[in-house]
Amino acid sequence: MNIEQARFNMIEQQIRPWKVLDHAVLELLAVVKREDFVPAAYRAAAFVDTELPLGEGQTMLTPPVEARLLQDAKVQRHETVLEVGTGSGYTTALLAHRARRVISLENRPALARMARENLARAGISNVEVRDADGRHGLAAEGPFDVIMLSGSVASVPQALLDQVKVGGRLVAIEGGEPVMRAVVYFRESASSVTKTEMFDTMAPRLDGFDDATRFRF
């Protein structure tokens, strides 16, 4: 397989048609080697428009969804990002190239170890991957310029919205099957947050963010 041709095809045939037109994002996708963040057994499928298994019952988001979320987050070089759901560390790496600092929370130790190893091999040093449940965020170290949820949730917890800095954004995929939407929350002031729906999609539920338990009779 011609890796560079496959990467080019991913960007031009999958990602651009998803309205990812930010040149900085497109250039970054050409630089950060997605194949190095995919389990070895699935390396040949690194550029395919499908969710890839990571183990532990978890999967990577598809390339177009990853790219669109990154574009919609509009991360700036001076900003600090909190990511919830590290997975393989690929989205973490993309965020790190755009931000001053990234803290990523992963509640599965095996995935956290894999992500740290992947990020270290990629030479990325402005990321800290922590073994932690991300449902409550990291209030002691907030507020954050950007919070990225790398998976879907039924609705964004208030605890996470409260950790977005004034002028900051929270990017997530909300809803349940068959309708989910990528959304951006923007904190205008200490008491005001606006929500913009960006695009329809489907994504696996973020680990630990299960829907409210239903009564069984």
Structural domains present in the chain: 3-201 (3.40.50.150)
Segment 123-182, tens digit of pLDDT:
999 999 999 999 999 999 999 999 999 999 999 999 999 999 999 999 999 999 898 999
Label residue 208 by pLDDT band (50, 70, 90): confident
Residue-level pLDDT at 175: 95
Looking at the DSSP bridge assignments, the partners of residue 146 are 81, 169
Token pair listed for 138: 């990291």
What is the pTM for the complete model shown? 0.94
Give the whole-angstrom CA distance, residue 109 versus residue 131: 6
Q: Cis peptide leading into 109, omega within 30 of 0? A: no
Give the whole-angstrom CA distance, residue 74 versus residue 89: 19
Question: Are 95 and 102 in contact, with CB atoms under 8 Å apart?
Answer: yes
Place of tokens 């496959």: 6
Segment 105-118, tens digit of pLDDT:
999 999 999 999 99
Mean pLDDT of 42-57: 94
Give the whole-angstrom CA distance, residue 90 versus residue 94: 6
Q: What share of the chain is helix, strand, coil (3-state, %, to 5)?
A: 35, 30, 35
Mean pLDDT of 52-79: 96
Segment 91-104, tens digit of pLDDT:
999 999 999 999 99
Label residue 207 by pLDDT band (50, 70, 90): confident
pLDDT at 216 over 50: no
**Distances from the Cα of 88 to the Cαs of 22, 65, 117, 167, in angstroms?**
24, 15, 9, 29
Strand order through the sheet with 144-153: 127-131, 101-106, 80-84, 144-153, 164-176, 179-189, 192-201
Mean pLDDT of 40-67: 95
pLDDT at 214 over 50: no
Residue-level pLDDT at 217: 30
Residue-level pLDDT at 211: 63
Could you tell me how many residues make up the chain? 217
Q: List Cβ<8 Å contacts ≥24 apart for 152-155.
A: 152/180, 152/202, 152/203, 152/204, 152/205, 152/206, 152/209, 153/205, 153/206, 153/209, 154/209, 154/211, 154/212
